[in-house]
């Protein structure tokens, strides 16, 4: 089954304790992205990657890191989480073509609480 998976689905942590949220897709997609969802703000892009070893900042990158060492994986790293990073996080992926825009497939979301 074609899908984007995220782990963990729920996480409660404390300020300053490094954490990683994993994202993996099995569709051989070139493009992957992380979004955060906050009430009244919709979803906002954190980081994206156009392919292996190619990453760039989105609209709200502060406090986050990413890496893309393999095509299927795109982990999100919070090296020193703070309470304002409490949010719902989504990973998404899509294929890239020159002639049309393709649907982004979203993972199931990770609910993160930073105390």
Partner 1 sequence: AQTVTQSQPEMSVQEAETVTLSCTYDTSESDYYLFWYKQPPSRQMILVIRQEAYKQQNATENRFSVNFQKAAKSFSLKISDSQLGDAAMYFCAYSFGPGNTGKLIFGQGTTLQVKP
Asked if 31 touches partner 1 (CB under 8 A), the answer is: yes
The C-alpha atoms of residue 101 and residue 109 are separated, in whole angstroms, by: 23
Asked if 1 touches partner 1 (CB under 8 A), the answer is: no
Among 58, 71, 73, 77, interactor with partner 1 by CB under 8 A: 58
Q: Where do runs of H (alpha helix) occur along 14-107?
A: none
- Number of C-beta neighbours around residue 29 at 10 A: 21
CA nearest to 34, candidates 1, 73, 81, 70: 73
Among 53, 56, 70, 79, interactor with partner 1 by CB under 8 A: 56
| Residue 19 vs residues 9, 66, 80: alpha-carbon distances, Å | 13, 12, 8
Binding residues among 85-104 for partner 1 as defined by CB under 8 A: 88, 90, 92, 94, 96-101, 103-104
Q: Which residues bind partner 1 (CB under 8 A)?
A: 31, 33, 35, 40-45, 48, 50, 56, 58-59, 88, 90, 92, 94, 96-101, 103-104, 106, 108-109, 111
């Amino acid at each position: 089954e074609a899908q984007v998976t995220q782990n963990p689905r729920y996480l409660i942590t404390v300020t300053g304790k490094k954490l990683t949220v994993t994202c993996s897709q099995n569709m051989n997609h070139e493009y992957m992205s992380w979004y955060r969802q906050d009430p009244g703000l919709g979803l906002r892009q954190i980081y994206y990657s156009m392919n292996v070893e190619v990453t760039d900042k989105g609209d709200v990158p502060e406090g986050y890191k990413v890496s893309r060492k393999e095509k299927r994986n795109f982990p999100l790293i919070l090296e020193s989480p703070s309470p304002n990073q409490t949010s719902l996080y989504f990973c998404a992926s899509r294929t890239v073509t020159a002639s049309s825009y393709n649907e982004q497939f979203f993972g199931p979301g990770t609910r993160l609480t930073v105390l």
